[in-house]
Amino acid sequence: MLTVNACAVFVLQFVMYTGISSFLQWYFYNKGRDRTDDWKLQPPKHKIDPSVWWLPIFDWLTGYHKRGRHPWHTLLTTTNLLNSCCFSAGVTELYMRGKTKLLLLPSATELPGAAIVLPFLARYGGEAVAKATWMAVYSVAIFLIACLYQCVAEYYWHRVMHLPFFYRHLHKYHHYYTSPSPFDDMMIHPLEGTGYYIILYAPALMFPMPLHSFLAYMALMGLTGIFDHSGISIRFGVRGSAWFGYDSRDHDMHHMLYNCNYSFPFVFMDKIHGTYRSIDSVEPSLISGPDAQELMARLGKKQRRGEVTDERKLD
Ligand SMILES: [Zn+2]
Ligand SMILES: [Zn+2]
């Protein structure tokens, strides 16, 4: 039997995801529809009605379907949203049963390395300052380690998903939309989604993390996952930095061009492996797909015909 906390987290995850995605739809696609040049990343593939709520489960209730949607859009996106809520509830349940490595409001002496670090720090500022410093340093460091792990593991997982077998059977659903908009991030085959969620939630079982560090990690990954597929230009951190800067155009480029920018939310793994492309460095020969002409016009570039390799044709 699940604890009340696990059930509450299930509902909270559903409400927060729906609320944030709905806000983006309302604020940009509805309220800001007359100033798309300020925020829209790619021209939409199809004209869509921004006045109708795009929450997939709402499609089921009303029978409304956005033009150009995959026939399984509502089924897959709803399944994956519920799947992600199950993972949140599952990790909460494990936490409540003491099966994770998460630490609720730990004292500095409980943190790894305390026996070595605290006496060293106490020499310079006393015991209280040493504890506060180690708590702050450890909380930030383990948060960064979790983010680093996620970017590395997700990068290789994503590369595997682009191998022909996995692409044909799993990943092609996520690439159905070359110009994603709110709620399209959940367009994933459930098997692929489950693999991704295992990577995403694993830090709770891998690293001794204060709960606040884990929640900050999940908030960053959750928000950037939504932003990555919003079609909205959102940037924060150090501008242009692969390590300390975020740019929603990077993953949007992955959906547009298919064969670059596999890493998210930060692109340092693509920089290391030479698979990074910025919007400013797009070669015309890399651009393909149904949005190519509109995109080329937007970029002011000319397409060289016959040079395109597009594995979406595996369909
Ligand atoms: Zn991909
Ligand atoms: Zn994506």
Q: What ligand is nearest to the CA atom of residue 161?
A: 1
Note whether 103 and 210 are within 8 A (CB). Answer: yes
Please state, in angstroms and rounded to a whole number, the distance separating the CA atoms of residues 51 and 96.
42
Give residue 296 CA to ligand 1 midpoint distance, Å: 21
Q: What ligand is nearest to the CA atom of residue 193?
A: 2
Dump pLDDT digits (tens) for 40-60: 887 765 566 777 888 888 877
Give residue 169 CA to ligand 1 midpoint distance, Å: 13
Give residue 36 CA to ligand 2 midpoint distance, Å: 21
Dump pLDDT digits (tens) for 142-165: 999 999 999 999 999 999 999 999
Which residue reads 């290391």 in tokens? 272
Pairing mode, strands 235-237 and 245-247: antiparallel
pTM, to two decimals: 0.86
Q: What ligand is nearest to the CA atom of residue 265?
A: 2
Could you tell me if residue 111 is left (phi over 0), alpha (psi between -120 and 50 degrees) or otherwise beta? beta
Dump pLDDT digits (tens) for 62-92: 777 666 788 899 999 999 999 999 999 999 9
Identity of the amino acid at 32: G
Q: In degrees rounded to 5, what are phi and psi of residue 272?
A: -65, -40
Tell me: pLDDT of 283 over 70: no
Give residue 125 CA to ligand 1 midpoint distance, Å: 50
Look over the chain and give the mean of its residue pLDDT values, rounded to a whole number. 86
Give residue 192 CA to ligand 2 midpoint distance, Å: 12
Tell me: pLDDT of 217 over 70: yes
Give residue 97 CA to ligand 2 midpoint distance, Å: 34
Which residue reads 């077998």 in tokens? 165
- Burial code (b: 16+ CB inside 10 Å, e: under 16) for 267-303 equals bbbbeeeebbbebeebebebbbbebbeebeeeeeeeb
Structural element, H or E, at residue 210: strand 209-210
Note whether 160 and 146 are within 8 A (CB). Answer: no
Taking the mean position of all CA atoms in its chain, how far away is CA 77? 14
Tell me: pLDDT of 300 over 50: no
Whether the upstream peptide bond of residue 290 has omega within 30° of 0, thus cis, is: no
Q: What ligand is nearest to the CA atom of residue 180?
A: 2
Note whether 229 and 205 are within 8 A (CB). Answer: no
Which ranges in 63-113 belong to alpha helices (H)? 73-96
Note whether 91 and 204 are within 8 A (CB). Answer: yes
Please state, in angstroms and rounded to a whole number, the distance separating the CA atoms of residues 149 and 194.
17
Tell me the two tokens of residue 223: 């928000």
Within a 13 Å sphere around the CA of 94, how many CA atoms are in the beta-carbon half?
A: 15
Give residue 154 CA to ligand 1 midpoint distance, Å: 11
Contacts of 173 (CB under 8 A, 6+ apart): 70, 72, 76, 187, 188, 189, 192
Burial status of residue 51 (CB atoms within 10 A of its CB: 0-12, 13-18, 19 or more) = exposed
Give residue 175 CA to ligand 1 midpoint distance, Å: 6
Tell me: pLDDT of 104 over 70: yes
Reported as a pLDDT band with limits 50, 70 and 90, residue 110 is confident
Tell me the two tokens of residue 59: 């499609």
Give residue 156 CA to ligand 1 midpoint distance, Å: 11
Tell me how crowded residue 90 is: count the other CB atoms within 10 A of its CB.
17
